[in-house]
Chain A
Amino acid sequence: MSKGFSTSSVGRKVLMALSGFFLLFFLLQHFVINFLSVISADMFNEVSHFMGTNGIIQFVMQPVLLFGVLFHLGMGLYLDFKNRAARPIKYEMDKPSENSSWMSRNMIITGIMVMLFLGLHFYDFWIPEIVDKFIDGKWDEPTKYFPHLVHKMEDPIRVGIYCVSFVFLALHLLHGFQSSFQSAGFNHNKYTPLIKKLGNLYAILIPLGFIFIALFHLLSSH
């Protein structure tokens, strides 16, 4: 690898795409596991317990995921700062909507909103889990996951925040999915239209599915 790869504009773009691919894959598996909570509490507990106690997932995948999230956020903010600096004097009259989508121009806004949501999400689920295991030493609680999820989803304000956040996630993915392929150097006259369609489906169905899960548990608890 050339020395300047990670500091070049193209290299950074490719790294953003690779971290994006990883987060897309993570989101899909997160959705599948969450959806189990709608089908069966036992199944959800079983898979969550496995994810929460498996050594490879806990000590390899989890740090990789944390790095991926922080890298995607940090690099996104840094590139946005650099990009703003590349045009110090703005236009008096500008019509960006004539040539590009709102989603593509506002990835930093939708991305920051998703990251703010992640703060709440970590506070709700990830931090209690870390405290349980690494501070209190309680590793073997295979049935705690479903009641904890239901307890959190009882609060309509929290569910409301979750639902709004998933809308921002959808807006981010509507551009991010297909943009990752373009950045990684994949653009093909036959496959790119398919990737765009698949990206739109993913960007709408996955957040919609998360909204469904949150509302399902809210309504079930009342």
Chain B
Amino acid sequence: MTKLRQLAWMSLAAVGLLFSASGSYAQSQDPGDQPGLVADDSFELDPEWQKQVVLYRTTEPPGTIIISTAERHLYLIQPGGRALRYGIGVGRDGFQWQGLLSISNKKEWPDWTPPPEMIARQPYLPRFMAGGPGNPLGARAMYLGTTVYRIHGTNQPWTIGTKISSGCFRLVNADVADLYDRVPVGTKVIVKQKPEL
């Protein structure tokens, strides 16, 4: 009998604790306290850089990624002459490149180890940074072949549509997480640059 009463009190306390906990959670929405949560940062984008379905004719099969550096758009080819288009940030002038690669690895909330050539140019950069909301690689990273380049997220949504990186392609976290779930390792990635004069 006492055992039963004890159990009743304990469950009541547990329910109370649950309520108070969810109450305090509602008051302080700190994304840092929710590992894995990707906040929707895409609403900060101009319409041109928001994810949208567009008409896109190509001989590449659906599932291929085509990146247009000049346009600052990443296309994920869909069946039926269309593509999902995402706004991206691209490399600074002189840090742009083109070619055919494939996604060799995928990571959630990646750690950041700036490559030696980047440290040489920007010595103030950290040697290592653990993954998380403050990390410039953002919520997801997709590795491109054996290069140092990645398709990754960002903690600076306002840099989408600009030429700012060292050759990587950045999307807002909501978009990079969406893309991450759509493409497997082995996905073909075509990077196009504007023509040289």
Q: Do A and B bind each other?
A: no
Using a CB–CB cutoff of 8 Å, the interface residues on chain B facing chain A are: none
